[in-house]
Amino acid sequence: MLEHDRREFLVRSAGGLAAMALLPELGLARMPSPRADLRVGVVGVGRHGRDVLAEIAKIEGATITAIADTDERRLASGLRRTSGAEGFADVGSLISAGLTDAIVIATPTHTHREVAEEAFASGQHVYVEAPLAATLTDCKAIAASARSATGVIAAGLQGRANPVYQLARTFFRSDSVRDLVAMRGQRHQKTSWRTPASDPARERALNWVLDPEVSLGLAGEWGTHQFDVFNWYVGRYPVKVRGNGSIRLHKDGREIADTIACTLTLDDGAELQYSATLANSYEGMYEVLYGTNAAIKLGWSHGWMFKEADAPTQGWEVYANRQQFHKDEGITLIAGATKLAEQGKLKQGIGLPFSSLYYALGDWLAAASEGSEAACSCDEAARATAVGIAANRAVVTGEEISVEM
């Protein structure tokens, strides 16, 4: 774009100025795709693994050629969702078949280490779901193995590849938000977390997330993803966490709390208040960062900034799209503003057209084809998971827990 045209675009486009001023190369909401065809295998095709299959199918240049699962019924179900893929009982058999260039690990959290290390050793590109592992020892081992792997390795903390979150982070790290005051996040979803099964052995295996011996609970399994957003934005990690939890709805014999609340504290005293529940869906999933000039609210497909009345005007605000929230007016943070404006769709294009999982997988596959770094490394995932592990322990024990990295 010529400089004159660029200036004209900034003045004429509602919402475009905020994005262009901070991210000259937008196109953020595009469909990420590898530059070369990649054959992809998926290990673990339970509930989340099936989501992975669906998202990879949307990415041009990626073909699912193999899937693996230790549960025969899940393997059969996964194969019905693919076209021409071959099925295997474990990751070793899948690797030996030579049908893949890249592997997604979507097995239960506590099994990641063994599967990941075998996949890393194969020399293929590997995407490991988050949380990275169920123990600090396994987190450190996976991160160490990833550093010596020859393929492109990514961890599944989706916020880092999310176009709205990438855009909002540039605002947060500017004077638009300024000094951090506090943080708040939640994930509320009314669901059981239980998968029905006809026999006790299979029921236990399928419902590992409800097994206190291996599960990280809501704080670890869900919270890790959101804790990483705050880690990434502020560039620091909590040093201690307090928490509590109880069973408010699902009184079916489980020991894992279905409702939790945590307070995570940074080294300078700033706090993150976090809650999660399986008993109510109100307001869903979001993160808020409060600064002295503005607050940013992130909703995974959407983002908003709320400026303080005494915050200095930077010039672009008058052109921005706005949305009313009760008594507050939010400036919508729009990914892909340039492309949307050219198509005359800026007003409609506030939300992302695809899921965060799609962007995370697409980023990894594009990085694999280019030989570049993916949005989230296993080192960062290990640090975020360490926070999730500490938060879960605080919920279970009711004690204040120091975060170990």
- By the 8 A CB rule, do 286 and 229 touch? no
The predicted structure's pLDDT at residue 328: 78
Tokens matching residue 93: 């058999």
Q: Is 355 exposed, middle or buried (0-12, 13-18, 19+ CB in 10 A)?
A: middle
Low-confidence ranges of the chain (pLDDT < 70): 1-33, 35, 315-320, 334-350
CA distance 162 to 217: 24
Three-state secondary structure along 172-227?
Answer: HCCCCCCCEEEEEEEEECCCCCCCCCCCHHHHHHHCHHHCCCCCCHHHHHHHHHHH
Name which of 340, 341, 320 is nearest 331 in CA terms.
Answer: 320
pLDDT of residue 33: 66
Entry pTM: 0.89
CA distance linking residue 62 with residue 50, whole number of Å: 16
Tabulate helix, strand, coil % of the chain (nearest 5): 40, 20, 40
Q: What is the pLDDT of residue 10?
A: 30
Q: How far apart, in whole angstroms, are the C-alpha atoms of residue 392 and residue 262?
A: 9
- Residue 383's contacts (CB-CB under 8 Å, 6 or more residues apart) are 231, 237, 405
Strand, helix or coil at 349? coil
Q: Say how far apart CA 67 and CA 56 lie, in whole Å.
A: 13
The sheet carrying 125-129 orders its strands as 86-88, 62-68, 38-43, 102-105, 125-129, 153-156
**How confident is the model over 79-101, as pLDDT tens digits?**
999 999 999 999 999 999 999 99
Q: Give domain limits for the chain.
A: 168-347+384-402
Answer for the pair 337, 13: CB distance below 8 angstroms, yes or no: yes
DSSP secondary structure of 287-332: EEEEESSEEEEE-SS-EEEEE-TTSPP-S-GGGS-EEEETTEEEEE
Q: Report the pLDDT value the prediction gives residue 23, as an integer from 0 to 100.
A: 34
Architecture of domain 168-347+384-402: 2-Layer Sandwich (3.30)
Closest CA to 56 of 44, 65, 68: 65
- Kind and range of the H or E run holding 394: helix 378-397
What 3-state DSSP class applies to 254? coil
276 vs 265: CA distance, rounded Å = 18
Question: What is the rounded distance in angstroms from the CA atom of residue 73 to the CA atom of residue 70?
Answer: 9
Q: Would you call 304 exposed, middle or buried from its count of C-beta atoms within 10 A (0-12, 13-18, 19+)?
A: buried
